[in-house]
């Protein structure tokens, strides 16, 4: 199926893709209850719960990328949603009573399910929206929906956590509805050959030099995701340590962040047409500025502004990474490229918990805010690298 107009089936496909973001954002409930987790479990349990999904996801994304290039993407997509519906609820709350079950549930919903759904969803967009301009627009909408779904989930997690913190993950049962819709409205997407349907000749776009364009994306994704997602994931520690509020406030700031991301992603197609690959440069700069503001001025007002800046900038670069990965490689490698770039994201989660606790212990500080300069520096380095690479790029690559 190649969508050329927004008829009913296409609109429903887009809706299903939008709602599937529950499986992508469904692990953010950990951020809302982070303080409670550290209060009720040993440090090694929480660290493993937060880092193991990254390790599992690294392999899951690579494998799923290959599967997308070899098998029907629809069934991988549905299988990932079904699995998340079972594990994304943290085993219906049972896992909270067992260290190993909680770690295992996190490994599944944050690693395996993330790889299955995210890679296949991007593959579906690539297959169903062949025109590059339209693909960029839909990719922006998809990531915008990710932010919107994340905002709704973050608010719901926060509200559920105020009643009983173990109830937060139960919100993820909404995935069951998405599974039903996916069966009816996601078209069959068998593997594609790198040939032109009309002439039977091989397509050459993206054939040469694709690795040189993909590798910088992968490195930027890993470094920036590690830095920014560390701040986002452990933001509850920041709120608590600086006496800003409780879990409901953490959820509110998360909602602001993701709503801002929604608007940035929605207009990504338009912005990318104007800036091209240079779109990443101001986004990296604003990410660094948002964390710097939180470091220098810990207050509710500053955190509100920083959350909006961070959300918009993150949504922009996140969409940029995935979109570029689908256009710099041959068509029969889109799944593999998506798997590689998604692996960078999963791998970035692996050291997060250990760096947070390790740096705080090394610096002998109790406030998460005190290690923010480390993350600011990482994003600043990527910002400079983006300027250099864009300056060296050929006009047609921008």
Q: How many CB atoms neighbour CB 164 within 10 A?
A: 10
List the structure tokens of 223: 């470094």
pLDDT at 318 over 50: yes
pLDDT at 201: 35
pLDDT at 271: 86
Higher per-residue pLDDT: 223 or 130: 223
Look at residue 186 and give its three-state secondary structure: coil
pLDDT at 41 over 90: no
| Average pLDDT score over residue span 162-186 | 86
pLDDT at 323 over 60: yes
b/e 120-147 (16+ beta carbons within 10 angstroms → b): bbbbbbbbbbeeeebbbbbbbbbbbbbb
| Average pLDDT score over residue span 235-252 | 79
Give the model's confidence band at 378: pLDDT under 50 very low, under 70 low, under 90 confident, else very high: very high
78 to 139, 280, 361, 370, 372: CA distances (angstroms):
19, 32, 43, 43, 39
Higher per-residue pLDDT: 332 or 307: 307
pLDDT at 203: 43
Contact between 73 and 189 under an 8 Å Cβ cutoff? The reply is yes
Best CA proximity match to 66, nearest among 119, 125, 121, 126: 119
Instruction: Determine what percent of the chain is predicted with pLDDT higher than 90.
Output: 18
Q: How far apart are CA 210 and CA 373, in angstroms?
A: 34
296 to 234, 291, 302, 303, 356: CA distances (angstroms):
18, 9, 9, 11, 19
Residues in a beta bridge with 195 = 202
Q: How far apart are CA 202 and CA 68, in angstroms?
A: 20
Give the model's confidence band at 381: pLDDT under 50 very low, under 70 low, under 90 confident, else very high: very high
b/e 275-308 (16+ beta carbons within 10 angstroms → b): bebbbbbbbbbbbbbbbbbbbeebeeebbeebbb
The dihedral formed by the CA atoms of 6, 7, 13 and 15, expressed in degrees to the nearest 10: 70
pLDDT in tens, 95-151: 777 777 777 777 887 788 888 898 888 888 888 876 667 777 888 888 778 777 877
Q: How far apart are CA 353 and CA 42, in angstroms?
A: 13
Choice among 19-23, 143-147, 292-296, 384-388 with the minimum mean pLDDT: 143-147
Contact between 166 and 4 under an 8 Å Cβ cutoff? The reply is no
202 phi and psi angles, rounded to 5 deg: -70, 140
pLDDT in tens, 253-266: 777 887 888 888 88
Choice among 296-300, 345-349, 368-372 with the minimum mean pLDDT: 345-349
* Separation of CA 300 from chain center: 25
List the structure tokens of 186: 């996601």
Best CA proximity match to 157, nearest among 138, 172, 142, 177: 172
Best CA proximity match to 248, nearest among 366, 337, 162, 126: 162
Q: How far apart are CA 125 and CA 122, in angstroms?
A: 5
List the structure tokens of 115: 């790889």
Output the average pLDDT for the chain.
81
| Average pLDDT score over residue span 66-82 | 87
Domains of the chain: 8-397 (1.20.1250.20)
Which helix (H) or strand (E) covers residue 203, if one does? none
């Amino acid at each position: 199926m190649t969508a050329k107009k927004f008829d009913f089936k296409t609109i429903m496909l887009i809706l299903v893709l939008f709602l599937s973001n529950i499986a992508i954002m469904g692990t953010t409930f950990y951020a809302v209850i982070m303080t409670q987790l550290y209060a009720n479990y040993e440090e090694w349990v929480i660290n493993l719960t937060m880092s193991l999904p990254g390790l599992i996801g690294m392999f899951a994304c690579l494998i799923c990328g290959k599967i997308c290039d070899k098998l029907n993407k629809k069934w991988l997509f549905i299988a990932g949603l079904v699995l998340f519906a079972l594990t994304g609820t943290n085993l219906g709350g049972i896992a909270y009573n067992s260290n190993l079950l909680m770690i295992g549930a996190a490994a599944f919903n944050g690693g395996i399910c993330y790889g299955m759904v995210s890679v296949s969803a991007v593959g579906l967009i690539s297959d169903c929206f062949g025109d590059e301009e339209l693909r960029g627009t839909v990719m922006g909408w998809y990531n915008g929906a990710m932010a919107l779904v994340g905002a709704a989930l973050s608010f719901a997690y926060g509200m559920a956590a105020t009643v009983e913190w173990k109830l937060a993950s139960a919100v993820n049962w909404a995935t069951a509805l998405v599974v039903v819709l996916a069966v009816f409205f996601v078209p069959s997407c068998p593997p594609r050959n790198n040939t032109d349907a009309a002439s039977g000749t091989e397509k050459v776009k993206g054939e040469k030099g694709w690795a040189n364009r993909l590798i910088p994306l992968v490195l930027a994704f890993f470094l920036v995701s590690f830095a920014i997602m560390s701040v986002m994931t452990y933001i509850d520690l920041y709120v608590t340590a600086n006496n800003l509020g409780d879990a409901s406030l953490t959820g509110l700031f998360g909602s602001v962040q993701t709503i801002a991301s929604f608007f940035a992603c929605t207009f990504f197609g338009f912005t990318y047409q104007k800036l091209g690959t240079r779109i990443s440069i101001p986004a990296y700069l604003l990410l660094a500025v948002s964390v710097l503001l939180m470091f220098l001025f810990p207050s509710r007002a500053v955190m509100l502004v920083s959350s909006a800046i961070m959300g918009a900038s993150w949504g922009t670069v996140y969409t940029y990474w995935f979109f570029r990965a689908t256009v710099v490689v041959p068509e029969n490698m889109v799944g593999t490229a998506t798997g590689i770039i998604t692996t960078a994201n999963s791998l970035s989660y692996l050291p997060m918990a250990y760096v947070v606790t390790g740096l705080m212990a090394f610096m002998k500080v109790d406030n998460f805010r005190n290690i923010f300069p480390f993350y600011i520096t990482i994003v600043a380095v990527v910002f400079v690298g983006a300027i250099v690479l864009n300056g060296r790029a050929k006009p047609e690559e921008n």
